[in-house]
Structure 1
Amino acid sequence: MLFTAMNELDNTLWPLARKLYEQSFPKEGRKPDAIINGMFRKMPCFLHTLSDMDKVEAMAISGLTGGGKILLIDYIAVPGRRRGQGIGSQLLEAIAEWAQKVMLLDGLLIEVESEHTATNERRIRFWERNGFTITDYEHPYIWVPEPYRAMYKQLSQENAWLGDGSGKKLFRYITSFHEKAYSKK
Protein backbone atom coordinates (compact mmCIF):
# COMPACT_ATOMS: atom_id res chain seq x y z
CA MET A 1 0.00 0.00 0.00
CA LEU A 2 1.09 3.54 -0.71
CA PHE A 3 1.57 5.92 2.24
CA THR A 4 1.11 9.64 1.69
CA ALA A 5 1.51 12.60 4.01
CA MET A 6 0.32 15.91 2.59
CA ASN A 7 0.12 19.34 4.15
CA GLU A 8 -2.83 20.35 1.97
CA LEU A 9 -6.20 18.91 1.04
CA ASP A 10 -5.73 18.02 -2.60
CA ASN A 11 -8.47 17.24 -5.10
CA THR A 12 -7.42 13.63 -5.58
CA LEU A 13 -6.99 11.96 -2.19
CA TRP A 14 -8.99 14.26 0.08
CA PRO A 15 -12.43 13.41 -1.40
CA LEU A 16 -11.69 9.69 -0.91
CA ALA A 17 -10.28 10.19 2.58
CA ARG A 18 -13.16 12.53 3.47
CA LYS A 19 -15.69 9.86 2.53
CA LEU A 20 -13.97 7.42 4.91
CA TYR A 21 -13.78 10.12 7.61
CA GLU A 22 -17.51 10.84 7.31
CA GLN A 23 -18.41 7.14 7.38
CA SER A 24 -16.23 6.53 10.45
CA PHE A 25 -17.27 9.43 12.67
CA PRO A 26 -20.82 10.57 13.42
CA LYS A 27 -21.58 14.16 12.44
CA GLU A 28 -21.44 15.33 16.07
CA GLY A 29 -18.07 13.59 16.54
CA ARG A 30 -16.18 15.12 13.65
CA LYS A 31 -15.03 18.55 12.67
CA PRO A 32 -17.09 20.28 9.95
CA ASP A 33 -15.48 20.78 6.53
CA ALA A 34 -15.01 24.51 7.16
CA ILE A 35 -12.97 23.81 10.32
CA ILE A 36 -10.80 21.19 8.61
CA ASN A 37 -10.20 23.43 5.60
CA GLY A 38 -9.32 26.27 7.99
CA MET A 39 -6.90 24.07 9.93
CA PHE A 40 -4.93 23.32 6.77
CA ARG A 41 -4.87 27.02 5.84
CA LYS A 42 -3.77 28.48 9.18
CA MET A 43 -1.66 25.84 10.92
CA PRO A 44 0.68 22.94 10.08
CA CYS A 45 -1.72 20.05 9.46
CA PHE A 46 -1.38 16.83 7.51
CA LEU A 47 -3.56 14.33 5.72
CA HIS A 48 -2.11 10.82 5.92
CA THR A 49 -3.43 7.97 3.81
CA LEU A 50 -2.73 4.37 3.02
CA SER A 51 -4.15 3.62 -0.40
CA ASP A 52 -4.37 0.68 -2.70
CA MET A 53 -5.02 1.64 -6.31
CA ASP A 54 -7.80 4.24 -6.10
CA LYS A 55 -9.09 3.18 -2.66
CA VAL A 56 -8.12 4.88 0.59
CA GLU A 57 -7.80 2.02 3.06
CA ALA A 58 -6.88 4.20 6.05
CA MET A 59 -6.67 7.91 6.74
CA ALA A 60 -5.60 10.26 9.52
CA ILE A 61 -5.61 13.98 10.11
CA SER A 62 -2.84 15.38 12.29
CA GLY A 63 -1.21 18.65 13.23
CA LEU A 64 1.88 20.03 14.89
CA THR A 65 1.82 21.22 18.47
CA GLY A 66 4.24 21.49 21.39
CA GLY A 67 6.44 24.06 19.72
CA GLY A 68 6.22 22.19 16.44
CA LYS A 69 7.94 19.07 17.80
CA ILE A 70 4.88 16.90 18.55
CA LEU A 71 2.39 15.48 16.07
CA LEU A 72 -1.16 15.31 17.42
CA ILE A 73 -3.20 12.66 15.63
CA ASP A 74 -6.64 14.24 15.61
CA TYR A 75 -8.54 11.54 13.67
CA ILE A 76 -7.73 8.11 12.30
CA ALA A 77 -10.11 5.90 10.35
CA VAL A 78 -10.14 2.48 8.70
CA PRO A 79 -13.14 1.15 6.75
CA GLY A 80 -15.26 -1.27 8.77
CA ARG A 81 -14.56 -4.08 6.28
CA ARG A 82 -10.79 -3.69 6.89
CA ARG A 83 -10.78 -3.35 10.69
CA GLY A 84 -8.89 -6.03 12.56
CA GLN A 85 -6.53 -6.62 9.63
CA GLY A 86 -3.68 -4.44 10.87
CA ILE A 87 -4.33 -1.55 8.46
CA GLY A 88 -4.60 1.02 11.27
CA SER A 89 -1.32 -0.21 12.76
CA GLN A 90 0.34 0.01 9.33
CA LEU A 91 -0.81 3.60 9.01
CA LEU A 92 0.45 4.48 12.50
CA GLU A 93 3.80 2.84 11.78
CA ALA A 94 4.13 4.85 8.56
CA ILE A 95 3.13 8.08 10.35
CA ALA A 96 5.66 7.44 13.14
CA GLU A 97 8.46 6.73 10.66
CA TRP A 98 7.59 9.83 8.61
CA ALA A 99 7.33 11.97 11.76
CA GLN A 100 10.69 10.79 13.05
CA LYS A 101 12.76 10.59 9.85
CA VAL A 102 11.24 13.26 7.60
CA MET A 103 9.82 15.78 10.05
CA LEU A 104 12.38 15.14 12.85
CA LEU A 105 9.64 15.22 15.50
CA ASP A 106 10.02 14.10 19.07
CA GLY A 107 6.73 12.29 19.55
CA LEU A 108 3.13 11.49 18.72
CA LEU A 109 0.16 12.47 20.85
CA ILE A 110 -3.52 11.51 20.92
CA GLU A 111 -6.50 11.91 23.21
CA VAL A 112 -8.88 9.06 24.07
CA GLU A 113 -12.21 8.89 25.85
CA SER A 114 -11.55 7.75 29.41
CA GLU A 115 -14.97 6.37 30.34
CA HIS A 116 -14.69 2.65 31.10
CA THR A 117 -16.65 1.15 28.23
CA ALA A 118 -15.78 -1.87 26.11
CA THR A 119 -15.36 0.34 23.03
CA ASN A 120 -13.04 2.79 24.78
CA GLU A 121 -10.98 -0.02 26.33
CA ARG A 122 -10.58 -1.61 22.87
CA ARG A 123 -9.38 1.71 21.46
CA ILE A 124 -6.89 2.19 24.29
CA ARG A 125 -5.52 -1.35 23.76
CA PHE A 126 -5.10 -0.56 20.04
CA TRP A 127 -2.99 2.50 20.84
CA GLU A 128 -0.98 0.61 23.47
CA ARG A 129 -0.25 -2.19 20.97
CA ASN A 130 1.12 0.56 18.73
CA GLY A 131 3.57 1.85 21.34
CA PHE A 132 1.50 4.57 23.03
CA THR A 133 1.47 5.12 26.79
CA ILE A 134 -1.65 6.35 28.57
CA THR A 135 -1.54 9.03 31.26
CA ASP A 136 -3.58 9.07 34.47
CA TYR A 137 -4.93 12.61 34.22
CA GLU A 138 -8.56 12.89 33.06
CA HIS A 139 -9.26 16.12 31.23
CA PRO A 140 -12.79 17.52 31.43
CA TYR A 141 -14.03 19.45 28.41
CA ILE A 142 -16.82 21.98 28.78
CA TRP A 143 -18.30 21.21 25.34
CA VAL A 144 -18.42 17.39 25.55
CA PRO A 145 -19.75 15.36 28.48
CA GLU A 146 -17.05 12.68 28.70
CA PRO A 147 -13.52 13.17 30.05
CA TYR A 148 -10.44 12.36 27.98
CA ARG A 149 -6.92 11.12 28.66
CA ALA A 150 -3.73 11.74 26.72
CA MET A 151 -1.64 8.98 25.20
CA TYR A 152 1.83 9.53 23.78
CA LYS A 153 4.57 7.79 21.85
CA GLN A 154 8.03 9.21 22.22
CA LEU A 155 10.06 9.08 18.99
CA SER A 156 13.24 10.80 20.11
CA GLN A 157 15.29 9.99 23.18
CA GLU A 158 17.41 13.12 22.69
CA ASN A 159 14.70 15.58 23.60
CA ALA A 160 12.51 14.49 26.48
CA TRP A 161 9.50 16.53 25.29
CA LEU A 162 7.24 14.74 27.72
CA GLY A 163 9.03 15.88 30.82
CA ASP A 164 7.33 13.78 33.47
CA GLY A 165 4.72 12.40 31.03
CA SER A 166 2.06 14.41 32.81
CA GLY A 167 -1.31 14.18 31.13
CA LYS A 168 -2.07 17.69 32.37
CA LYS A 169 0.98 19.04 30.52
CA LEU A 170 0.10 17.08 27.38
CA PHE A 171 -3.43 18.50 27.43
CA ARG A 172 -1.95 21.99 27.21
CA TYR A 173 -0.59 20.93 23.80
CA ILE A 174 -3.89 19.29 22.82
CA THR A 175 -5.93 22.29 23.95
CA SER A 176 -3.63 24.67 22.08
CA PHE A 177 -4.11 22.63 18.90
CA HIS A 178 -7.92 22.66 19.25
CA GLU A 179 -7.99 26.38 20.04
CA LYS A 180 -6.07 27.11 16.83
CA ALA A 181 -8.28 24.74 14.84
CA TYR A 182 -11.47 26.51 15.95
CA SER A 183 -10.14 30.07 15.97
CA LYS A 184 -11.60 32.53 13.49
CA LYS A 185 -8.15 33.83 12.49
Structure 2
Amino acid sequence: MALELNTLDHWDESLWQQMKPIYEEAFEHGAKPERILKVMLERRLACMHAAYDDGELVAMAFTGLGDSPEQPALIIDYIAIRKDRRGRGEGKLFFELLRDWAVLTYDIAAIIIEAEAANTPENRERIVFWEKCGFTPTSYVHHYIWIPETYRALVLPIDPSFAVADDGESLFRQITHFHEQAFRKKWDDSTAQPRS
Protein backbone atom coordinates (compact mmCIF):
# COMPACT_ATOMS: atom_id res chain seq x y z
CA MET A 1 0.00 0.00 0.00
CA ALA A 2 1.36 3.43 -0.93
CA LEU A 3 -0.11 6.88 -0.46
CA GLU A 4 0.98 10.04 -2.24
CA LEU A 5 1.12 13.21 -0.11
CA ASN A 6 0.19 16.60 -1.55
CA THR A 7 0.98 19.57 0.72
CA LEU A 8 0.06 23.20 0.03
CA ASP A 9 0.96 26.30 2.02
CA HIS A 10 -1.81 28.35 0.38
CA TRP A 11 -5.56 27.95 0.06
CA ASP A 12 -6.62 25.90 -2.93
CA GLU A 13 -10.37 25.90 -3.43
CA SER A 14 -10.46 22.88 -5.72
CA LEU A 15 -8.43 20.80 -3.24
CA TRP A 16 -10.64 22.02 -0.40
CA GLN A 17 -13.77 20.90 -2.26
CA GLN A 18 -12.27 17.40 -2.42
CA MET A 19 -11.23 17.48 1.26
CA LYS A 20 -14.41 19.06 2.61
CA PRO A 21 -16.59 15.90 2.72
CA ILE A 22 -13.89 14.05 4.72
CA TYR A 23 -13.49 17.04 7.07
CA GLU A 24 -17.22 17.44 7.66
CA GLU A 25 -17.73 13.71 8.17
CA ALA A 26 -14.89 13.41 10.70
CA PHE A 27 -15.41 16.66 12.61
CA GLU A 28 -19.11 17.15 13.20
CA HIS A 29 -18.32 18.97 16.47
CA GLY A 30 -15.45 21.32 17.25
CA ALA A 31 -14.46 21.94 13.63
CA LYS A 32 -13.21 25.35 12.62
CA PRO A 33 -15.44 27.12 10.09
CA GLU A 34 -14.20 27.07 6.50
CA ARG A 35 -13.47 30.82 6.62
CA ILE A 36 -11.06 30.27 9.55
CA LEU A 37 -9.28 27.45 7.75
CA LYS A 38 -8.88 29.77 4.79
CA VAL A 39 -7.52 32.54 7.04
CA MET A 40 -5.00 30.10 8.53
CA LEU A 41 -3.59 29.46 5.05
CA GLU A 42 -3.76 33.12 4.00
CA ARG A 43 -1.85 34.11 7.15
CA ARG A 44 0.68 31.34 6.51
CA LEU A 45 -0.10 29.71 9.85
CA ALA A 46 -0.95 26.32 8.41
CA CYS A 47 -0.60 23.89 5.56
CA MET A 48 -3.28 21.74 3.99
CA HIS A 49 -2.43 18.13 3.20
CA ALA A 50 -4.14 15.53 1.06
CA ALA A 51 -3.25 11.88 0.63
CA TYR A 52 -4.11 9.96 -2.51
CA ASP A 53 -4.22 6.30 -3.36
CA ASP A 54 -3.90 5.84 -7.12
CA GLY A 55 -5.31 9.35 -7.69
CA GLU A 56 -8.20 8.92 -5.24
CA LEU A 57 -8.32 11.23 -2.20
CA VAL A 58 -8.38 9.13 0.98
CA ALA A 59 -7.14 11.46 3.75
CA MET A 60 -6.77 15.11 4.70
CA ALA A 61 -5.05 17.21 7.35
CA PHE A 62 -4.33 20.75 8.47
CA THR A 63 -1.09 21.38 10.36
CA GLY A 64 0.83 24.33 11.77
CA LEU A 65 3.90 25.06 13.84
CA GLY A 66 4.13 25.69 17.55
CA ASP A 67 5.65 28.94 18.78
CA SER A 68 8.87 27.56 20.31
CA PRO A 69 11.75 28.44 17.97
CA GLU A 70 14.24 26.49 20.14
CA GLN A 71 12.30 23.24 19.73
CA PRO A 72 9.88 23.60 16.81
CA ALA A 73 6.87 21.34 16.99
CA LEU A 74 4.35 20.39 14.35
CA ILE A 75 0.79 20.81 15.57
CA ILE A 76 -1.70 18.52 13.86
CA ASP A 77 -4.87 20.59 13.95
CA TYR A 78 -7.06 18.18 11.96
CA ILE A 79 -6.38 14.79 10.43
CA ALA A 80 -8.92 12.38 9.01
CA ILE A 81 -9.20 9.30 6.85
CA ARG A 82 -12.22 8.80 4.64
CA LYS A 83 -14.69 6.66 6.59
CA ASP A 84 -14.82 3.86 4.02
CA ARG A 85 -10.99 3.60 4.11
CA ARG A 86 -10.55 3.27 7.88
CA GLY A 87 -9.12 0.13 9.46
CA ARG A 88 -6.71 -0.55 6.58
CA GLY A 89 -3.55 1.01 8.02
CA GLU A 90 -3.82 4.13 5.87
CA GLY A 91 -4.23 6.44 8.89
CA LYS A 92 -0.86 5.40 10.30
CA LEU A 93 0.73 5.60 6.85
CA PHE A 94 -0.70 9.09 6.30
CA PHE A 95 0.60 10.20 9.68
CA GLU A 96 4.08 8.85 8.83
CA LEU A 97 4.06 10.84 5.58
CA LEU A 98 3.16 14.00 7.53
CA ARG A 99 5.86 13.28 10.12
CA ASP A 100 8.54 12.75 7.47
CA TRP A 101 7.45 15.89 5.59
CA ALA A 102 7.64 17.98 8.79
CA VAL A 103 11.07 16.63 9.71
CA LEU A 104 12.45 17.41 6.25
CA THR A 105 10.72 20.78 5.89
CA TYR A 106 11.04 22.23 9.40
CA ASP A 107 13.49 19.99 11.28
CA ILE A 108 10.88 19.64 14.00
CA ALA A 109 11.71 18.45 17.51
CA ALA A 110 8.25 17.01 18.24
CA ILE A 111 4.69 16.56 17.02
CA ILE A 112 1.74 17.62 19.15
CA ILE A 113 -1.89 16.68 18.77
CA GLU A 114 -4.90 17.22 20.99
CA ALA A 115 -7.60 14.61 21.48
CA GLU A 116 -10.90 14.74 23.30
CA ALA A 117 -10.34 13.74 26.93
CA ALA A 118 -13.78 12.37 27.83
CA ASN A 119 -13.61 8.67 28.63
CA THR A 120 -15.71 7.31 25.76
CA PRO A 121 -15.05 4.25 23.58
CA GLU A 122 -14.46 6.45 20.52
CA ASN A 123 -12.00 8.72 22.35
CA ARG A 124 -10.14 5.75 23.86
CA GLU A 125 -9.84 4.28 20.35
CA ARG A 126 -8.28 7.54 19.11
CA ILE A 127 -5.78 7.59 21.98
CA VAL A 128 -4.80 3.97 21.25
CA PHE A 129 -4.28 4.88 17.57
CA TRP A 130 -1.95 7.75 18.49
CA GLU A 131 -0.07 5.58 20.98
CA LYS A 132 0.51 3.06 18.16
CA CYS A 133 1.99 5.95 16.18
CA GLY A 134 4.44 6.60 19.03
CA PHE A 135 2.64 9.37 20.91
CA THR A 136 2.47 9.68 24.69
CA PRO A 137 -0.67 11.15 26.27
CA THR A 138 -0.13 13.84 28.89
CA SER A 139 -2.18 14.02 32.09
CA TYR A 140 -3.24 17.67 31.86
CA VAL A 141 -6.86 18.12 30.73
CA HIS A 142 -7.56 21.43 29.01
CA HIS A 143 -10.90 23.27 29.15
CA TYR A 144 -11.46 25.74 26.32
CA ILE A 145 -13.83 28.55 27.25
CA TRP A 146 -15.69 28.44 23.95
CA ILE A 147 -16.47 24.70 23.66
CA PRO A 148 -17.75 22.19 26.23
CA GLU A 149 -15.41 19.27 25.38
CA THR A 150 -12.17 18.80 27.29
CA TYR A 151 -8.91 17.88 25.57
CA ARG A 152 -5.66 16.12 26.34
CA ALA A 153 -2.37 16.72 24.50
CA LEU A 154 -0.33 13.87 23.08
CA VAL A 155 3.28 14.32 22.08
CA LEU A 156 5.73 12.47 19.89
CA PRO A 157 9.34 13.59 20.47
CA ILE A 158 11.41 13.49 17.28
CA ASP A 159 14.56 15.01 18.78
CA PRO A 160 15.76 12.90 21.75
CA SER A 161 16.41 16.10 23.73
CA PHE A 162 12.76 17.19 23.50
CA ALA A 163 11.08 16.89 26.88
CA VAL A 164 7.82 18.07 28.39
CA ALA A 165 8.74 19.55 31.78
CA ASP A 166 5.18 19.58 33.13
CA ASP A 167 1.94 17.60 32.89
CA GLY A 168 1.27 18.81 29.33
CA GLU A 169 -0.06 22.28 30.08
CA SER A 170 2.91 23.83 28.24
CA LEU A 171 1.88 21.95 25.10
CA PHE A 172 -1.54 23.58 25.32
CA ARG A 173 0.08 27.00 25.49
CA GLN A 174 1.48 26.28 22.02
CA ILE A 175 -1.80 24.80 20.77
CA THR A 176 -3.82 27.73 22.18
CA HIS A 177 -1.44 30.26 20.64
CA PHE A 178 -1.88 28.55 17.28
CA HIS A 179 -5.71 28.71 17.60
CA GLU A 180 -5.64 32.33 18.77
CA GLN A 181 -3.62 33.40 15.73
CA ALA A 182 -6.22 31.81 13.45
CA PHE A 183 -9.13 33.58 15.14
CA ARG A 184 -7.41 36.95 15.66
CA LYS A 185 -9.39 39.67 13.87
CA LYS A 186 -6.48 41.99 13.17
CA TRP A 187 -3.32 40.55 11.74
CA ASP A 188 0.19 41.87 11.36
CA ASP A 189 1.80 40.14 8.36
CA SER A 190 5.26 40.73 9.80
CA THR A 191 4.53 38.16 12.52
CA ALA A 192 3.57 35.41 10.08
CA GLN A 193 5.78 32.33 10.09
CA PRO A 194 7.10 31.46 6.64
CA ARG A 195 5.94 28.24 5.08
CA SER A 196 7.79 26.39 2.37
> TM above 0.5, one fold?
yes
Unaligned runs of 5+ in 1: none
The separation in 2 between residues aligned to 1:37 and 1:57, in whole angstroms, is 21
The CA deviation at 1:51 is 0.7
1:143 paired with 2:146, answer yes
- 1:115 pairs, out of 94, 114, 118, with 118
Matched, 1:6 2:8: yes
Q: Tell whether the 8 Å contact from 1:43 to 1:180 is kept in structure 2 after alignment.
A: no
Whether contact under 8 Å (2:30, 2:147) holds in the other structure is: no
1:29 matched residue in structure 2: 30
* 2:75 pairs with 1:72: yes
CA distance in 2, matches of 1:19, 1:146: 23
- The alignment's TM-score, normalised by the length of structure 2, stands at 0.87
Residue 61 of structure 2 contacts residue 78 of structure 2 at CA under 8 Å; is this kept in 1? Answer: yes
Identity of counterpart residues, as a percentage?
37
Select the residue among 84, 88, 91 that pairs with 1:88.
Answer: 91
Q: CA deviation at 1:81?
A: 0.8
Please point out which of 104, 108, 131 is paired with 1:105: 108
The aligned residue for residue 164 of structure 1 is 165
Separation in 1, partners of 2:164, 2:138:
13
SS of match in other structure, 2:106: coil
C-alpha distance after superposition, 1:87-119 (max 9, x if no partner): 111110001111112221111101111111101
| Paired residues of 2:10 and 2:44 also in contact (CA < 8 A) | no
Distance 1:11 1:54, change over 3 A: farther
Tell me how far apart the structure 2 counterparts of residues 165 and 80 of structure 1 sit (CA, whole Å): 36
SS at match of 1:17: helix
Q: Could you say what the CA RMSD is over the residues aligned between the two structures, in angstroms?
A: 1.5
The residue type paired with residue 27 of structure 2 is: F
Contact 1:16 1:55 in 2 (8 A): no
Amino acid at match of 1:70: A
TM-fit CA distance, 1:7: 0.8
- Alpha-carbon distance in 1 for matches of 2:59, 2:166: 29
Cα distance change, pair 163–115 in 1 and its aligned pair in 2 (3 A):
closer
Question: CA, structure 1 residues 119+100, in 2 after alignment: closer, same or farther (shift >3 Å)?
Answer: same
Contact 2:45 2:182 in 1 (8 A): no
Aligned to 2:181: 180
Number of residue equivalences: 182
CA distance in 1, matches of 2:149, 2:10: 31
